[in-house]
Structure 1
Amino acid sequence: MSPRGLRETPDDCMYLCPFKTACLRCAMAGTQGVPVHEEIIERSEQAGMIGFFERWSRKKQLAKK
């Protein structure tokens, strides 16, 4: 997490690792990615980009995982 409260890729991964994209996709697809997806949903609702029912639906889909 950055000081601004956002998740950031470490510099070593971002610039030096040729596998960063595959690695990040794998991490997000697993159970460790669920809290990150939940944070994205919460931020989207707070920003007014999604409504209550869409948030509820997306969180329910995540809970199934």
Structure 2
Amino acid sequence: AGEVMVIGGEQIYRAAIEQASRLYITRVDTEVEGDAFFPDITEGHWREVECQQPAQQGDTPYCFQVLERRH
């Protein structure tokens, strides 16, 4: 099978993350109010293979990050 993209909510992320070998994450540098969030990532289980910071657009910085599961 090829890659499967999982697009939340929180319960769906939690169910899928245990099966994931690679994560594509958009990190947005802001604080928001809410009751559903992406699960905390245990850094020892993942390694960053890519982090792209696109040209600044708007007032909120963000980056695209790719993590791979450590085996």
| Fold shared per TM-score above 0.5 | no
Q: TM-score, with normalisation over the residues of structure 2?
A: 0.23
Whichever of the two has the greater Rg, that structure is 1
Give the number of the structure whose residues are more often helix, by fraction: 1
TM-score normalised per structure 1: 0.24
